[in-house]
Chains A and B, each alone.
Chain A
């Protein structure tokens, strides 16, 4: 079965510093990987996705993620964090064996302090 794991419940970063939110995956076949952000009491906003092609994926709001097949990772990164980046981040994988539903990681709460 397809799965993703986010090993960190919380990540704390100072404003202006680079941030990384980790995600590892386990899939059979080609992985379709996604990152979403959620602000309190809101739906999920799409940040970026990896389907195929370049391993470095650039997304919304200055975020990027690197697909690493050998390490089965898809970490989310941003060179310079903003306080407004503080939110809940989800990594997800599409499970084509089950109707194309998204399988979500546990979520990582990012806190950026001034």
Chain B
């Protein structure tokens, strides 16, 4: 149980375009979703915390206008990378709180060319 489905697994986009990443909780209601960014062989950097029905809380240094997070329902949270640039290329992972732990999406490899 407690599965988060993240799509797409990988995406290649052109500079200047926007990309949307979706995370769906399949068998539970995710009131809180965390969005992370990870560079190769490095740790996860928390970008923002989203709560259903309210504005996301962004970590210091994360551009909220560039990384738009929407958590409109208890089963869906989205991260949109707007006007993507090559430096936005990274691995993005979502995570939801469940009971006394957390479950993670499978991640999205974004490559901006």
Contact = CB atoms under 8 A, between A and B. Distances in A.
By secondary structure, the B interface counts as strand
A100 B6 contact: no
Interface residues on B, range: 20 to 34
A66 to B, nearest CB: 19
A109 B42 CA distance: 10
Contact of B41 (A42, A46, A51, A109): A109
Interface stretch (B14-22, B64-72, B78-86, B92-100): B92-100
Given A101-B49, A106-B43, A46 B107 contact: no
Interface string A77-107: 0000000000010100000000111101111
Given A102-B102, A107-B41, A44 B32 contact: no
A43 interface: yes
Given A43-B104, A99-B57, 4 more contacts: A46-B103, A99-B32, A102-B95, A104-B44
Interface of B: 6, 10, 32, 34, 41-44, 46, 49, 57, 91, 93, 95, 97, 100-107, 109
Interface of A: 32, 34, 36, 41-46, 49, 51, 88, 90, 99-102, 104-107, 109
